[in-house]
Chain A
Amino acid sequence: MFRYVAALFMVAGLLTGCGERKPVLHVYNWADYMKPSLVRQFEEEFNCRVVIDTFDSNEAMYARLRAGASGYDVIFPSTYMVQIMQEQGMLQPLNPDLIPNTAHLDPAYQEMAADADCTHAVPYMISNAGLAYRADSVEDVKPSWAMLDRTDLRGRMTMLDDMRETIGAALKYLGYSLNTRNVEELEEARDVVIRWKRNLAKFENEQYKNGIASGEFLLVHGYNGDIMQVMEENEHVVYIVPEEGVSIALDEMVIPVDARQVELAHAFINFLHRPEVAAENTEYVFFLCPNAAAYELIDDELLNDPSINLEPEILARSEVIEDLGEDNRLYTAVWDEIKAAR
């Protein structure tokens, strides 16, 4: 099926290419995650066409690749999914000579990446999951996960319907690692989430954005870039980074083993880490590209926004969610108990 589509694209390329066949780069990325004019710029500079296909969760992307989808040249999975794909032999090694711009990577974030030496993955954007509240209705706000214990907000708060994020928030609140495999720590976190759950309207991954914008929810657990997009339109919404630490997600760029345009794929990764390109992209999507040379070019207000660029002491307490393989079951079991609890 996908080969079929790819073939169709090639035919289309032949028909429109005026006799000259431009190479086509197939990109598989999250929606609204790249400034469109930068893609145009790349196409002109490298005399190629870029076809972007989007996914809404790592799992959906992974399931589609496992089901036989092929023909992608660059994919943007999160760290834990990079680990899984690497273990499954789905990624090809990167050629460091073709991506010299990795020299600009911010070492503070590079340590968190799936692969600190960029042998098969290069970080693209950083996000974190914190809290957002309605400044017009909520008083005495503390930058802490303890806000979820506020009974005066009962029924007007949401947490992510995501076991790793939500149990992770409780683990951080208790001062533990959000990648813990310690059953006792997980049980403690379970009891905290069950306590919070009594105050929640629901567990929610998408509608919290509309909910906080419309005032239906007064405090929500969500991702910084998503909230900042809401804040652009609604002045009452404020994002806070809980001081106990947060989960950091790192989306990375990888080249799958069956990529056709391997050189062009390297060029694309390198292009996105040109300092001026990375800066422009960050200012558009409100997520931080961990490119130290780009920081100087980003608007100061945005760069110093503590919700985009975490303060050093909070960053030190924050972690990237890792895939735990077999031990994911520990989280599933706790999550089931949380969901079942009254």
Chain B
Amino acid sequence: MHLRKPSITEWLITLPSLIWLFILFLIPTLIVFAIAFKPPDPWGGIGSGWTLDTLRSLANPNYPPIVYRTIGLSIGTTVICLSLALPTGYAIARAPAKWRRILLLLIVIPFWTSFLIRIFAWKVLLHPDGHLKQFLVFLRLADEQSMLLYRPEAVLLVMVYTLLPFAVLPLYAASEKFDFRLLEAARDLGATPWRAFREVFIPGVRRGLLTAVLMVFIPALGSYIIPDLVGGPRSEMVGNKIAQRTFVDRNLPHASALSAGLTLAVMAPMLVVLMLQGRRRDALET
């Protein structure tokens, strides 16, 4: 397979989106990276000259717990979302066509309500005097004093809730294209249903899985509003620290350095995925 040289028309069609990305994504990102090397002034502005002090101050011993928590919560969210979305995508793809549409609609319906309102709904659900709490107390799973909100577990729960559709949709799309006769073939050759699912279905929807990982992990890393609203004093994530540096500490270079770090952290999984997909393409070509 040889790549054709793109024609002028193709260039012209791509140009608007390239310009869009260049002006609204690439340039601002580079500015953020540049500000990270500028000194702050005590009035919230950006000083003149260049410095590496801000980068050095990232060695602050208070950061590692926040970074670990951010990565841990993001990985946790991704793993839970994928393990819920994989059977869901499979089930929707195998459902009769009439049902399939309704199920997909049910996945999308929550988006009709504002994201913020849905988070506030969780605050009502998990209210310390709410029905859920009383039910848990009744089941002796919680006592009167225990808190459902304002802890890292609450952040994890709401992140999974928020990001789950972003895992279900690509997995459904991949499952829909999957040839389910392969599963039957595997069964005919003696595989147990679980083994067929694991060794035939999962590799078959690999691309969907990779997309789902990116769609969940990246927004999870940059979470700010969820830990802010349902998190407690021990649920701070990198996003919250960036907000604090910007608004409270009036230290834009420090906020920029943290943002730049987050951008790099987000790019790493994307590069891995690109490499994995590239290797697969090479393998197909040879």
A contact residues vs B (CB 8 Å cutoff): 57, 59-60, 62-63, 66, 84, 87-88, 154-156, 162-163, 197, 200-203, 207, 214-216, 325-326, 328, 332, 335-337, 339-340, 342
Contact of A216 with B128 at beta-carbon distance under 8 Å, contacts A155-B145, A155-B147, A325-B42 already known: yes
| Contact (Cβ within 8 A) B150 A201 | yes
Known contacts A88-B43, A201-B232, A326-B42, A332 near B145 by CB under 8 Å: no
Centre residue among A60, A156, A335, A339 by max chain B CB count within 10 A:
A339
Asked if B199 is at the interface (CB within 8 A of a chain A CB), the reply is: no
Given A202-B232, A328-B249, A332-B249: 11 more A-B contacts, CB < 8 Å: A59-B44, A59-B248, A60-B247, A66-B44, A155-B146, A155-B147, A201-B149, A216-B149, A335-B244, A335-B248, A336-B62
- Asked if B62 and A62 sit within 8 Å, CB to CB, the answer is no
Q: Do residues B150 and A214 form an inter-chain contact, with CB atoms below 8 A?
A: no
B66 contacts A by Cβ under 8 Å: yes
- Shortest C-beta distance, A208 to chain B (Å), equals 12
Closest to A203 in B: B233
Main secondary structure of the interface of A (DSSP, over half): helix
Q: Are A340 and B65 in contact (CB under 8 A)?
A: yes
Q: Are B233 and A200 in contact (CB under 8 A)?
A: yes
A87/B43 in contact, CB under 8 A: yes
- The complex places the Cα of A224 from the Cα of B264 at a distance, in Å, of 43
Q: Choose one: B62, B127, B233; the contact of A197 (CB below 8 Å).
A: B233
A87 to B262 alpha-carbon distance, docked (Å): 34
Contacts of A340 in B (CB 8 A): 61-63, 65-66
Determine the chain A residues whose CB is within 8 A of the CB of B249 once the complex forms. 328, 332
Considering the complex of A and B, which 3 residue pairs feature the smallest CB-CB distances, nearest first? A340-B62, A155-B147, A201-B150
Residues of B in contact with A (beta carbons under 8 Å apart):
42-45, 60-63, 65-66, 123, 127-129, 145-147, 149-150, 229, 231-234, 236, 244, 247-251
**In the complex where A203-B233, A337-B62 touch, is A66 in contact with B45 (Cβ < 8 A)?**
yes
Asked if residues A339 and B232 are in contact (CB atoms below 8 Å), the reply is no
Selected A-B contacts with CB under 8 Å, 30 pairs: A57-B247, A59-B247, A59-B250, A84-B44, A155-B128, A155-B145, A155-B146, A156-B147, A162-B248, A197-B233, A200-B232, A201-B233, A216-B123, A216-B127, A216-B128, A216-B129, A325-B42, A328-B42, A328-B250, A332-B248, A336-B60, A336-B62, A337-B62, A339-B62, A339-B236, A339-B244, A340-B61, A340-B62, A340-B63, A342-B234
Q: Which of A62, A332, A335 has the most CB of B within 10 A?
A: A332
CA distance A84 to B250 in the complex (A): 12
Q: Which residues of B contact A201 (CB under 8 A)?
A: 147, 149-150, 232-233
Residue of A nearest to B230 (CB): A202
Q: B residues within 8 A CB of A332?
A: 248-249, 251
- Docked pose: A156 CA to B146 CA in angstroms: 10
CB-CB under 8 A for A202 and B248, given A155-B128, A216-B127, A326-B42: no
Residues in A whose Cβ lies below 8 Å from that of B44: 59, 62-63, 66, 84
Q: How far is the CA of A66 from the CA of B232 in the complex (A)?
A: 33
In the complex, chain A residues whose CB is within 8 Å of the CB of B149 = 201, 216
Cβ of B66: which chain A residues have Cβ within 8 Å of it?
340
Closest to B234 in A: A342
Quick check: A163 and B65 within 8 Å, CB to CB? no
Q: CA A307 – CA B43 in complex, angstroms?
A: 32
Residues of chain A within 8 A of B150, CB atoms compared: 155, 201-202
Complex Cα gap A113–B90 (Å)? 67
**In whole Å, how far is A269's beta carbon from the nearest beta carbon of chain B?**
25
**Chain A, Cβ-Cβ closest to B149:** A201
- Contact present for A214 and B127 (CB under 8 Å): yes
Q: Inside 8 A of A155's CB, which chain B residues have their CB?
A: 128, 145-147, 150
- Give Cα A66 to B123, complex, Å: 37
Q: Nearest Cβ in chain A — how far from B68, in angstroms?
A: 11
Give complex CA distance A326, B45 in Å.
Answer: 13
